[in-house]
Structure 1
Amino acid sequence: MAVGEEFIKFASRRSTVYSTKGIVSSSQSLASAAGLRILQKGGNCVDAAIAVSAALVITEPASTGIGGDCFALYYKLDDKNDPKSGKVLGLNGSGRAAKNVTPQDVWNEHNNGKPMKRIPYTSVFSVTVPGAIAGWNDAYEKWGSGKVTFSEILEPAIELAENGFPVAELASRAWRGSAKKLKAQNPDAKNNALLFDGEGPKEGELAFNKPIAEALKLIGKEGKKAYYEGPIAEAIIKTTSARNHKLTLDDLKNHTSTFVDPINLNFQGYNVWEIPPNGHGLVALLALGIVQELAKSKKIDLKELKHNSAEYLHILIEANKLAFYDADEYVTDEAFKNIPIDKLLSPEYLSTRAALFDPEKSLDGNTLSHGIPDPKFKSDTVYFTVSDSNGEACSFINSVYQGFGSGILVEDYGFCLQNRGANFNLSPGENNCLEGGKRPYHTIIPGMITNSDDSLYAAFGNMGGFAQPVCHVQHVLNLTLFGFTPQQSIDSPRFILDSDGNPDTDRGKGADGPASTPITIVKIEEGISEEVINKLKELGHTTELVTGYARGTFGRAQIIKKEVKEDNKFVYAGGSDLRGDGASVAFI
């Protein structure tokens, strides 16, 4: 399909990167370089992805850290000579709530014992067990090449932390923008390694974090045990116990990653892959499924849709909105709830949700609810991707959620603890309500696409909290329907969804996402025409135009696409988001 005039006007300000050996694509150039270094040592895409993640912990600490979580998808070939013999594997590296915590503990701490619907983002009770380090170590042991040691993989990050690194523009803005939070959350800290002159580093300033370098050295030598037992674990519990949390050393010691079977939807001949709940990749698959059912029923004609037209955006907005209402009911820890994923992704169920679509007006959030696929069920972030010369790819995402997570500093080792627990609700009886040992609704989602013959089509992702599945849908359509290159898809103006944040109308269901209140805000990036925005308003959408640096709310995407040529040779094409400081870098 031809690229529209609106896209041409805002077309790629970067070129797509090509390579036959591999690509590292991340939001920080130094982190991409760390990944290349591991590929040069003989490591595979998984080894390199861990190195990138560790380097991002140092170079972009507002977005990620060793106090956070991770998820990964790995496209693994069964036969290195046959690019069509691969399969997609998954890792859930998210942590769980403290075993003994209850909603009442949060109410006692923040509301004089009276019920409230959400955990405050800066509450110590928003801290869950950090899963990232176990995720790195487990991915390395199960999927790594065996040609580099875990210690070698962490070396680039350790060097950046010890020797210093120049802080990039957007990382500096995020860092300095959170300085007030870091100071307020840690008023008694004698050594806040994350603050420089009390304000965070300026662009181009050399930043150091020697305490976290010591933590990474221990982890490199001893693996995940160094983090979940011993001095690092003790430092974490000392920090949280001082604030009345119920997190214990046993909670850390007993943490495990989970290797999972990814979920998928066949969309127009391509298989789109996501991590199953507690991650909300299900939202992207539901939305794509609804779009596909609209096409099957002839309500829309995919081939005639104009990119980023009012008609096109209205379809995607409504499909994603419906998907988020389902997510509020069905995205939770599968260990606590039997989730009917197959039925939710069945054409029969998706067609019932598609039937709610009205081309003439937006859905009414006051009456809209989740669907029931079967009567028995009635009841900030960094993303990066790496490909290698084997023809394999790793789609990886690591996060502490909001800027520096909870902002609560583990002073002895220079890192903050995530606030993923804020995505629990405090409504007893609801599926995603806070419970001891439970994983929360999780917004970080790596993505992957394979062709109908099981060969790899693309590894992709888009950071940005609740923006992520909405952006996944847009990238899938950009690549498979409109034929965009990775960089064109990334540079194309996007939209995302958000709630109006009204606590009085918060349903107390699911997570604090776009469907948590009846009014869903459609945030639209500059580059989409005023005419289109006005038409969306006429259809009943509440819109908000986002410009300048605020465009960071649309997240930062990375995409690596693979095209198999004759004799099983292949070419990678990589793109990196101009909303970040990073780059796609080719391996030679």
Structure 2
Amino acid sequence: MDTDLTFSSRRSPVVCLHGCVASSQPLASSVGLDVLKRGGNAADAAVAIAAALAVTEPFSTGPGGDAFCLFYNGNTGEIRGINGSGRSPRALNLELLEGRGYTAEAPPSPYDALNVTVPGAPACWCDTVQLFGSHKLSFQEVLSGAVELAEVGFPVAEVTAHHWANGVAALGGAGKELGGDLLIDNRAPKCGQVFKNPSLARTLKELGEWGKSAFYQGRVAQAIVDVISQHGGVMTLDDLSSHDSEVITPVSTEYKGVRLWEPPPNSQGLAALLLLNILENFRLKAVGHNSSDYIHVLVEAVRLALTDALHYLGDPDHGTLPLQTLLDKSYSHQRAQHINMERVMEGVEPGLMTGSDTVYLCVIDGQGNACSFVNSIYMAFGSGLVPKDCGFSLQNRGANFSLRRNHFNCVAGGKRSYHTIISALLTASATKSQKPKLLAALGVMGAFMQPQGHIQVLLNMLEFGMNPQEALDAPRVYVQYDQKTDEWVVNLEEGVDQEVAEELKRRGHKVNWPVTGHKRSQFGRGQIITVGDWWNPSANQAVHSTRVLWAGSDPRADGCALGY
């Protein structure tokens, strides 16, 4: 039962000097820490963790999905990233979908093979190590921890077991596709049950030995095309072999002396920046954390930011985005004028507003490098399609395309969809002549919760002086658009006062309170590592040290932060 997941304990932030990792699974965190201790840097460790999570949380992530990476270079202060999202098959277009009887009002099932886009994660893993890694460890060595977990097996953790079973149930009849590699006797493993995935171990070994060609050509590529074709999809070997990552320059905005960095479109990182720009117009600290005034302003700002994001964002290769206009502070100030203490009525372009299964992880190493990394197959087990003897399921990211002909995010061949997964970095504000000073790597996963989660945990530290663990522990708000009723729903986590929920209802919000148990997963699962205790307004300067790393891991997952 959902109410069985009680939050009855507390955690201290992890504090350390030489390197720190944080992820949603202790075994994966351990794999990353081991890479750091063997001489790898933040990028090496992040990829090692991402691969390990593909083993331990196959319903959330894996080689069959996409990934985004942001990397801070401790020597130069340069921030770059990798867009590891894949494109739709070239043969997929609106005419094909309409010819099969699909419309914007009646799109394909999210699990339809037509929604499988090219997996970008394996290329992103390879390129992250190649472009940003230490080059002290081979790619095989980076993936070795994940291979061992898959071969030897691991005991499944409590929250993981719950979502594994839920993911199988959600697939219904399609769940039989998982049986060979991702289930035990056609059932999800129980908490504490040891799970092995020799097929994934083989795939990871080949990837480590041969690099990208081991995935996008040959055995694995053929298995991907075969299973998609068998279920009515149109992906080809050429679609896979022509895939490549995109090296990106993150977009950013300034807020009260800090700068938040996010991946550019086709990711929804811009939504987080829009949200922060709007909120800068309000005295949030004065109204109090999770007060009715604070949540009201947050909700209205989320509605405005997401409305803009869903209207404008998509693949920039298929149109021009008004990035500078949207990020201009005067634009956000104008949007903030819509918000008063009553209500704002703002519609949203129809689109798939659904849950997500994703992993977010971050690493900061002893040289001051930071890697913020997110990996996802979108919904639980993605499409539910498992290429033969490969050990992973294929994402259904194409379900995020619009079927409205003139929409910026309308489906087309060779196009990347509006992408929900985002990773973030935080630096101190700097002039053009200064090297940006790293403050934190942070992220919160969870579909359209992600930009909301990024900003909530950031404000918890910046405005309310919470340490990274406290910032993740604090009850969160999830503003969700219900397309069926054309309403925005304000989901309030257990821990928000009942009086606050009642006041929000009085102001006209549709409120769902309290959200408890495993249903708290809708608020995302995050990780934070900070450099120093800059968020602490009463820091004792005699003790304060920017050398110390502080870290937290979300209690809504099984994971932990580890350091040395």
TM-score w.r.t. the length of structure 2 is 0.92
Question: Could you tell me which of 254, 270, 274 is aligned with 1:282?
Answer: 270
Query: Is 1:448 matched up with 2:425?
Result: yes
Q: Which runs of 4+ in 1 moved over 6 A?
A: 564-568
Q: Which stretch of structure 1 is more off in the superposition, 301-310 or 218-227? A: 301-310
Describe the superposition over 1:1-58 as per-residue Cα deviations: whole angstroms up to 9, x where unpaired: xxxxxxxxx8971110001111110000000011011111100000000000000000
Question: Could you tell me which of 420, 424, 430 is aligned with 2:397?
Answer: 420
Assess if the C-alpha contact under 8 Å between 2:104 and 2:402 holds in 1: no
Alignment of 1:304-453 (within 5 A): 304-359=286-341, 361-365=342-346, 380-453=357-430
Describe the superposition over 1:49-72 as per-residue Cα deviations: whole angstroms up to 9, x where unpaired: 000000000001111011000001
Counterpart position of 2:150: 161
SS state of the match for residue 335, structure 1? helix
**Displacement, 1:181?**
4.5
Assess if the C-alpha contact under 8 Å between 1:39 and 1:45 holds in 2: yes
Assess if the C-alpha contact under 8 Å between 1:127 and 1:419 holds in 2: yes
Query: Is 1:255 matched up with 2:246?
Result: no
Counterpart position of 1:557: 526
Counterpart position of 2:457: 475
Q: Aligned pair count?
A: 538
Counterpart position of 2:16: 19
Letter in 2 for 1:476: L
Counterpart position of 1:32: 29
Structure 1 residues 497 and 414, CA, compared in 2 at 3 Å: closer, same or farther?
same
Counterpart position of 2:3: none
Alignment of 1:255-274 (within 5 A): 255-274=243-262
Assess if the C-alpha contact under 8 Å between 1:391 and 1:570 holds in 2: no
Assess if the C-alpha contact under 8 Å between 1:11 and 1:488 holds in 2: no
Counterpart position of 1:97: 88
Structure 1 residues 157 and 114, CA, compared in 2 at 3 Å: closer, same or farther?
closer
Structure 1 residues 69 and 37, CA, compared in 2 at 3 Å: closer, same or farther?
same
Structure 1 residues 324 and 119, CA, compared in 2 at 3 Å: closer, same or farther?
farther
**Displacement, 1:563?**
1.7
Letter in 2 for 1:560: I
Distance 1:119 1:179 in 2: 20
Distance 2:402 2:330 in 1: 30
Of all paired residues, the percent bearing the same amino acid is 43
Distance 1:78 1:272 in 2: 20
Assess if the C-alpha contact under 8 Å between 1:104 and 1:115 holds in 2: no
SS state of the match for residue 120, structure 1? coil
Letter in 1 for 2:463: L
Distance 1:304 1:186 in 2: 50
Query: Is 1:62 matched up with 2:59?
Result: yes
Letter in 2 for 1:146: H
Query: Is 1:532 matched up with 2:463?
Result: no
Alignment of 1:66-85 (within 5 A): 66-79=63-76
Structure 1 residues 146 and 498, CA, compared in 2 at 3 Å: closer, same or farther?
same
**Displacement, 1:90?**
1.4
Query: Is 1:127 matched up with 2:116?
Result: yes
Distance 2:142 2:263 in 1: 25
Q: Which stretch of structure 1 is more off in the superposition, 575-584 or 12-21? A: 12-21
Assess if the C-alpha contact under 8 Å between 2:167 and 2:381 holds in 1: yes
Q: Which stretch of structure 1 is more off in the superposition, 214-223 or 343-352? A: 343-352
Describe the superposition over 1:160-211 as per-residue Cα deviations: whole angstroms up to 9, x where unpaired: 111111000011111111223456225477x621111222100000001111
**Displacement, 1:480?**
1.1
Assess if the C-alpha contact under 8 Å between 1:12 and 1:487 holds in 2: no
Distance 1:42 1:365 in 2: 51
**Displacement, 1:116?**
3.9
**Displacement, 1:115?**
5.8
Assess if the C-alpha contact under 8 Å between 2:532 and 2:545 holds in 1: no
Aligned Cα root-mean-square deviation (Å): 1.9
Describe the superposition over 1:99-137 as per-residue Cα deviations: whole angstroms up to 9, x where unpaired: 11112333444xx36664544211111100000000000
Counterpart position of 2:190: 202
TM-score w.r.t. the length of structure 1 is 0.88
**Displacement, 1:244?**
1.9
Counterpart position of 2:551: 574
Counterpart position of 2:476: 494
Describe the superposition over 1:311-368 as per-residue Cα deviations: whole angstroms up to 9, x where unpaired: 0011111111100110111110011111111111112211111111122x221145x7
SS state of the match for residue 56, structure 1? helix
Assess if the C-alpha contact under 8 Å between 2:117 and 2:396 holds in 1: yes
Counterpart position of 1:511: none
**Displacement, 1:438?**
0.5
**Displacement, 1:241?**
0.9
Distance 1:188 1:284 in 2: 36
Letter in 2 for 1:549: H
Distance 1:452 1:12 in 2: 36
Letter in 2 for 1:467: M
Distance 2:97 2:391 in 1: 26
Counterpart position of 1:53: 50
SS state of the match for residue 77, structure 1? coil
Assess if the C-alpha contact under 8 Å between 1:520 and 1:542 holds in 2: yes
Question: Could you tell me which of 222, 237, 240 is aligned with 2:210?
Answer: 222
SS state of the match for residue 199, structure 1? coil
Describe the superposition over 1:139-158 as per-residue Cα deviations: whole angstroms up to 9, x where unpaired: 11110000000000111111
